[in-house]
């Protein structure tokens, strides 16, 4: 079987080195970004002020950029690079070289952007859309990060293409297929942010043009911003679909279903950006409505994922003699951090996803938009489901790559870490959701709130957020201890890179899933359908003179 002859059990050491380089950056970002998160919850509680004239928005920008953009992109690229290596038999020298070039370009870009934020020249939050304006070096740095990630991703695509050439007529290894879908989605999505940065924000910050069309730039940003969140989610789904079944000793419920759900993400992740702009003037409600419908389409692959996970757990449970509706629950390997940590993430994704569906429901979004409810939403999705899964992956992947072992003590600490995270996040995100329903704004320091009376009813929730934030910070310290241990100090040994298999009697995945011309064609058609007319509208109806709203140079 071609599949088995090329797939190696271990990631090639040369590939391991590049993955680890990504993880060092990712976990450094976690350390600094996490500290900024703690500061924010303390400031918002109104009981504490930032010392030395540090600005709230600067801290918020460091937090969002480091955790939302740097930690994620570096972790994802490092993980996918290793997953492709493991399941295809390793990268070629050429692909490896590309990977390193991409890595360095991303790192240089990150340092450029970070420097400008620290110099207070780029307090524009992680979404950096106009009319907030940053120093041009910040935008150039971001461009480097994006271009670097394309090159990094190209290495994965190259290795996938080589595998397919060598194995004609065979479905590609599931993890490689998934990594490539995510990379392709990322490339299509980042075209939007690249366009606004190169054609609008950079010239504007360099003083080459006086004004910028705010609505165009926000629209291009959200064309990218929504698929950005699925770029974070899909690596977690890779673990849930294709790794967790192996860890618990079960099988993948359906390889074809997993592939189909990833293809649906490619098709429907991008033409939905308007669900972040539902309250924005200047976009025809009919087109907003269309994108709301498309948003509900992209919920479907997540529902398929939930179904498939329950099926995996239940089948495994039955094979162990579990009976009844939830009997499977008790036989799962709760003492294994590689399972329990991501599982807590999965459980959190049930309320997290429900919150997303509320946001996507046009009328309900009017209640929660721009409130701290939204912050609560993405701390459940990204900062719990996704990040706990990333932690869970690190606990076996780092020792696998460094030739060490996850010891019993570290395994235990990892499980404690995840429960600490769960408790901290229940307080913090829960309180954010409630405060949001009472109208508490997002992205505001205590001192910038409106009336004191309004603030009074928010206070208990803000205190709960500070309590949760402090517990979460403790959680970050624990992760860092485990990371440093696994990277440098854990005993030498072999740690498995688990890759699950489909049921024995499963049919081969249909080859149509690898028909990239077809899927990219439909993706492009959907994007053109959802965006062409509204874009023409936005540009044609821009207020005269300004070619957009105010420049708001005071920012
Ligand atoms: Fe979202 C805003 C809609 C998912 C992240 N989202 C945001 C922002 C971020 C974000 C960062 O429509 C703020 C951006 C900003 O700064 O302004 N979101 C959705 C919808 C989904 C969704 C419909 N979001 C995510 C994910 C994110 C993320 C995932 C990060 C990783 N979101 C919105 C909307 C807004 C928004 C609006 C704008 C709001 C506004 O007004 O600004 C869906 O994809 C969710 C689908 C999920 C499910 C759940 C499936 C459950 C599974 C788990 C099974 C568990 C098992 C374990 C088997 C349908 C797969 C069993 C356990 C037991 C204990 C039994
Ligand atoms: Cu979205």
State the total domains in the chain.
Answer: 3
322 and 342 together in one domain: no
- Nearest CA to 392 out of 464, 339, 466 is that of 339
Ligand positioned closest to the Cα atom of 301: 1
Give the distance from CA 62 to its chain's centroid.
17
Angstrom distance (rounded) from CA 507 to CA 514: 16
Q: Which two tokens stand for residue 488?
A: 């440098």
Query: Is 400 annotated in the active site?
Result: no
Cα separation values, 390 from 38, 339, 370, Å = 21, 12, 28
| Amino acid 257: pLDDT | 96
203 within a domain of the structure (yes/no):
no
314 and 373 together in one domain: no
378 within a domain of the structure (yes/no):
yes
pTM of the model: 0.95
- Nearest CA to 500 out of 277, 296, 315, 270 is that of 315
| Amino acid 345: pLDDT | 98
For residue 104, the CA-to-ligand 1 centroid distance in Å is 31
Ion ligand 2: residue ranges with CB closer than 5 A = 226
Angstrom distance (rounded) from CA 510 to CA 512: 5
Catalytic one of 223, 349, 378, 427: 378
Ligand positioned closest to the Cα atom of 253: 1
- Rg of the Cα atoms in the chain: 23
186 and 57 together in one domain: yes
For residue 371, give the DSSP letter: B
What integer best gives the mean pLDDT of the chain?
92
458 contacts 440 by C-beta, under 8 angstroms: yes
Residue nearest atom 44 of ligand 1, based on CA coordinates: 299
User: Does the pLDDT at position 258 exceed 80?
Assistant: yes
Q: Structural domain of residue 44, as residue ranges? A: 21-197
- Lowest mean pLDDT, pick from 29-43, 98-112, 162-176: 29-43
150 and 239 together in one domain: no
353 and 322 together in one domain: no
> Could you report the per-residue pLDDT of 137-189, keeping only the tens digit for each?
999 999 999 999 999 999 999 999 999 999 999 999 999 999 999 999 999 99
> Could you report the per-residue pLDDT of 182-241, keeping only the tens digit for each?
999 999 999 999 999 999 999 999 999 998 999 999 999 999 999 999 999 999 999 999
Matching residue, tokens 């024995």: 504
Q: How many Cα atoms occupy the beta-carbon half-sphere of 387 within 13 Å?
A: 26
- Lowest mean pLDDT, pick from 34-48, 145-159, 342-356: 34-48
345 and 372 together in one domain: yes
Angstrom distance (rounded) from CA 532 to CA 37: 38
Mean pLDDT of 352-377: 96
Angstrom distance (rounded) from CA 210 to CA 208: 7
For residue 7, the CA-to-ligand 2 centroid distance in Å is 36
320 and 338 together in one domain: no
Residue nearest atom 48 of ligand 1, based on CA coordinates: 353
Residue 75 three-state SS: helix
Residue 404 three-state SS: strand
Give the relative orientation of helices 136-166 and 93-118 as an angle to the nearest 10 degrees. Answer: 160
269 contacts 232 by C-beta, under 8 angstroms: no
Q: What is the DSSP string of 242-290?
A: HTHHHHHT--BS-HHHHHHHHHHHHHHSSTTGGGG-TT-TTS-HHHHHH
């Amino acid at each position: 079987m071609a599949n088995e002859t090329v797939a190696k059990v271990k990631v090639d050491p040369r590939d391991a080195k590049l993955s680890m380089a990504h993880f060092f950056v990712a976990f450094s970002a976690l350390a600094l970004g996490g500290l900024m998160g703690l500061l924010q919850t303390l400031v918002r509680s109104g009981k504490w002020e930032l010392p030395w004239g540090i600005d709230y928005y600067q801290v918020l920008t460091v937090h969002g950029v480091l955790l939302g953009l740097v930690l994620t992109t570096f972790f994802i690229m490092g993980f996918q690079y290793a997953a492709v290596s493991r399941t295809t038999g390793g990268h070629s020298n050429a692909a490896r070289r590309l990977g390193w070039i991409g890595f360095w370009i991303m790192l240089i870009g990150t340092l450029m952007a970070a420097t400008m934020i620290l110099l207070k020249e780029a307090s524009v939050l992680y979404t950096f859309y106009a009319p907030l304006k940053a120093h041009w070096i910040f935008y150039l740095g971001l461009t480097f990060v994006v271009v670097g990630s394309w090159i990094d991703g190209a290495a994965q695509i190259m290795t996938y293409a080589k595998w397919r050439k060598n194995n004609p007529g065979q479905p590609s290894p599931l993890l490689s297929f998934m990594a490539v879908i995510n990379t392709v989605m990322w490339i299509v999505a980042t075209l939007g942010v690249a366009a606004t940065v190169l054609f609008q924000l950079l010239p504007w910050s360099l003083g080459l043009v006086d004004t910028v069309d705010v609505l165009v730039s926000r629209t291009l940003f959200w064309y990218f911003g929504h698929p950005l969140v699925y770029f974070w989610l899909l690596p977690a789904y890779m673990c849930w679909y294709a790794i967790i079944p192996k860890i618990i000793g079960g099988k993948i419920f359906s390889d074809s279903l997993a592939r189909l759900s990833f293809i649906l993400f490619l098709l429907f992740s991008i033409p939905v950006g308007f669900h972040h702009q539902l309250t924005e003037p200047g976009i025809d409600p009919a087109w907003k409505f269309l994108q709301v419908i498309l948003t509900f389409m992209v919920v479907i692959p997540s529902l398929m994922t939930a179904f498939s996970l329950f099926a995996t757990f239940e089948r495994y449970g039955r094979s162990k003699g579990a009976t009844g509706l939830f009997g499977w629950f008790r036989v799962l390997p709760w003492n294994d951090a590689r399972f329990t940590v991501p599982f807590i993430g999965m459980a959190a994704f049930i309320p997290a996803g429900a919150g997303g569906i509320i946001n996507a429901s046009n009328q309900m979004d009017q209640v929660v938009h721009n409130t701290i409810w939204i912050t609560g939403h993405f701390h459940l999705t990204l900062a719990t489901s996704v990040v706990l899964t990333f932690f869970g992956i690190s606990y076996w992947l780092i020792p696998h790559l460094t030739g060490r072992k996850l010891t019993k003590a570290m395994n235990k600490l990892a499980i404690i870490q995840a429960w600490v995270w769960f408790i901290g996040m229940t307080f913090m995100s829960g309180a954010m959701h409630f405060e949001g329903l009472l109208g508490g704004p997002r992205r505001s320091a205590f001192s910038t709130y409106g009336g004191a009376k309004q603030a009074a009813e928010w206070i208990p929730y803000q205190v709960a957020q500070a309590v949760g934030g402090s517990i979460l910070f403790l959680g970050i310290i624990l992760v860092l201890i485990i990371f440093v241990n696994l990277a440098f100090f854990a005993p030498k040994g072999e740690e498995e890179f688990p890759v699950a298999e489909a049921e024995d009697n499963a049919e081969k995945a249909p080859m149509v899933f690898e028909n990239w011309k077809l899927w990219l064609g439909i993706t492009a058609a959907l994007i053109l359908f959802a965006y062409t007319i509204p874009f023409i509208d936005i540009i044609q109806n821009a207020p005269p003179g300004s070619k957009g709203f105010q420049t708001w140079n005071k920012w």
